[in-house]
């Protein structure tokens, strides 16, 4: 079942869109089932759960942290995390850099941008993202690599609203790219699209979709 779900999603979006299998709250047995079907990238939103799954599961899994991250917890994932999608402050970026340095690694990160019409979603406005990038010290953070942006659309049935929000994230990505990352080939990722809206996201230029319930079943 899980393997078939993954294959169906990948066929729909094409292989240029990277699939992050969101395994939060799901047991390790189901992650292994996806792993045996060939899936290697998994996303989690809680630090403690991510660490224990990392410890117990095959070491060639690429773990992505997709949920809100507190600065005092970065140290637990810094030794192994492959990408953090949820950078929403300069302080968090700085702490991530410091912890990556201690582990002698470079951690890939995305800037989480607020695109939804909901009060509860974390993230930066475009202006705040620019301010973060323009901080004099950002250029000196040697142990992080800013790879692009992440966003979540409003939780609505209205496809037009979702599409407009994804197009706005795509346009923010383009504008940051041309202003600050013109010659940086690493700044290329747009992480958008979940179980309910990954098709729209792929049409709007997503490079990474984060899909959970459609692969593993409802939570």
Ligand X SMILES: *Cc1c(COP(=O)(O)O)cnc(C)c1O
If one asks whether residue 213 binds ligand X (CB under 6 A), the answer comes out as: yes
If one asks whether residue 210 binds ligand X (CB under 6 A), the answer comes out as: yes
Answer for the pair 133, 180: CB distance below 8 angstroms, yes or no. Answer: yes
Among 13, 23, 39, 45, binds ligand X (CB under 6 A): 45
Nearer to ligand X, 146 or 208 (CB): 208
Residues 6+ apart with CB under 8 A from 112: 85, 86, 87, 88, 122, 123, 124, 149, 150, 151
If one asks whether residue 190 binds ligand X (CB under 6 A), the answer comes out as: no
CA distance 41 to 35: 9
Answer for the pair 5, 40: CB distance below 8 angstroms, yes or no. Answer: no
Q: Binding to ligand X (CB under 6 A): which residues in 101-140?
A: none
Shortest separation between residue 44's beta carbon and ligand X, angstroms: 9
Nearer to ligand X, 95 or 214 (CB): 214
Among 6, 47, 65, 66, binds ligand X (CB under 6 A): 66
DSSP for residue 85: E
If one asks whether residue 148 binds ligand X (CB under 6 A), the answer comes out as: no
Question: CB count, 10 Å around CB of 107?
Answer: 24
Binding positions for ligand X, rule: CB under 6 A = 22, 24, 45, 66-67, 152, 194-196, 210-214
């Amino acid at each position: 079942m899980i393997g078939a779900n993954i294959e169906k999603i990948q066929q729909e979006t094409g292989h240029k869109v990277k699939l992050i299998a969101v395994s939060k709250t799901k047991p390790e047995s189901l992650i292994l089932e996806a792993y045996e079907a060939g899936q290697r990238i998994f996303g989690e939103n809680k630090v403690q759960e991510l660490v224990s799954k990392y410890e117990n599961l095959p070491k060639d899994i690429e773990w992505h942290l997709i949920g809100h991250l507190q600065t005092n917890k970065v140290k637990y994932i810094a030794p192994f995390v492959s990408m953090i999608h949820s950078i929403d402050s300069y302080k968090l970026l700085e702490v991530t850099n410091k912890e990556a340095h201690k582990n002698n690694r470079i951690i890939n990160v995305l800037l989480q941008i607020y695109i939804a019409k909901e009060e509860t979603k974390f993230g930066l406005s475009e202006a705040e993202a620019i301010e973060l990038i323009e901080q004099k010290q950002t250029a000196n953070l040697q142990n992080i690599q800013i790879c692009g942006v992440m966003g979540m659309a409003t939780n609505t049935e209205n496809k037009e609203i979702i599409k407009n929000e994804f197009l706005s994230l795509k346009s923010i990505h383009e504008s940051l790219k041309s202003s600050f990352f013109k010659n940086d080939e690493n700044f290329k990722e747009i992480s958008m699209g979940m179980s309910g809206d990954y098709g729209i996201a792929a049409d709007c230029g997503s490079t990474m979709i984060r899909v959970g319930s459609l692969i593993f079943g409802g939570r």
